[in-house]
Structure 1
């Protein structure tokens, strides 16, 4: 991050989280009905996923009552108690599996929505206005596939910010803290007290640091590879 600055401590930056480990939250982000009010209770059907994946049922003698589902590749692993009946398994397939599939589809749609340079630029403008009184004025904010060991970079002399494309699927609040980190570098090149007082204005700054530290350790250690830094 410019001028030989030390690595981020506590790190907003190591290796990006894997797909499927995400949660979403963002602080930035009808005409009145003139028809007579319907006194009947409203029931909204949940939006079903477009396609259902293969479901692999795994029975466990250690499970007594709990049931869980998660993706493994393109299949869903449904973990159930050993004593579960076929009827119970079918019921869980029709209730639990669609929810996890729909959740992943929503995450993918959100990732596509913000994966453009325009979306990243708008996020940077909002962050600067909300946390830096609009004083950080980048000239360019773009995704970069060349950020292999960093989450992002900022060049104060040109106002150019680059964010690693590996962050395209992390939660909004994690991406926001990294973008804000780079915006602050346009005002302060070094990781000094002034820098951290500005970068930590984001309410999720500490949570994001812990999030990225945890997934970075899990991702880097099996291969022994380097962790990404900001």
Structure 2
């Protein structure tokens, strides 16, 4: 916790060397300090967990079940959902006959709403094969579909030109 004489009203929290730091106005009482430190550390941890997204195959399967319930009426029921490292040209794939969904490990670290879009896309394939209008009507139930598709298109575009988060190739 850091008190700041310059800070008047706002409270902020951030990670610094693996430690949560909460910055508060110097005039806050001990009770206000306790309230805000507790609230902001909880928010940091929640945001961290959301940003990391599902890490294990079990987490991924649980997330797929949630998304199926929320956007597909619970009708898409995969037998397995897992991360794979041998998929470099597709973000996800589905084998309806086996009811299996595989997501590329390259999605790990991307925003959760992007991973969710890919999951909804693959879940919809359990209900409709091919990319028919009926299929897209199901996928379109996911509110951030267009944004996620654009995000993935941008990632693909950058990768095809050798661009990395660090900048253009040397």
TM-score (norm 1): 0.51
Show structure 1 runs of 5+ residues with no match.
Answer: 1-40, 53-104, 224-230
Q: CA deviation at 1:108?
A: 6.8
Q: Secondary structure at the match of 2:103?
A: strand
Aligned to 1:55: none
Q: Which residue matches 2:157?
A: 217
Shift of 1:49: 1.5
Candidates 106, 111, 121, aligned match of 2:61: 121
Q: Displacement, 1:50?
A: 1.9
Larger Rg: 1
Alignment partner, residue 131 of structure 2: 191
The residue that corresponds to 1:182 in the other structure is 122
| Bigger fraction of residues in helix | 2
> Where do residues 68-217 of structure 1 align in structure 2 (5 Å cutoff)?
110=50, 112=52, 114-217=54-157
For residues 58-82 of structure 1, give each alpha carbon's deviation from its aligned partner in whole angstroms, at most 9, with x where no partner exists: xxxxxxxxxxxxxxxxxxxxxxxxx
How many residues align? The count is 131
Considering Cα pairs closer than 8 Å and 6+ residues apart, tell me whether 1 or 2 has the greater RCO.
Answer: 1
Q: Give 4+ residue runs of structure 1 displaced > 4 Å after superposition.
A: 41-45, 105-113
> What are the ranges of 5 or more consecutive residues in structure 2 without an aligned counterpart?
1-7, 20-44, 164-170
Tell me the TM-score normalized by structure 2. Answer: 0.68
The answer to whether the Cα contact below 8 Å between 2:114 and 2:148 also exists between their aligned partners in 1 is: yes
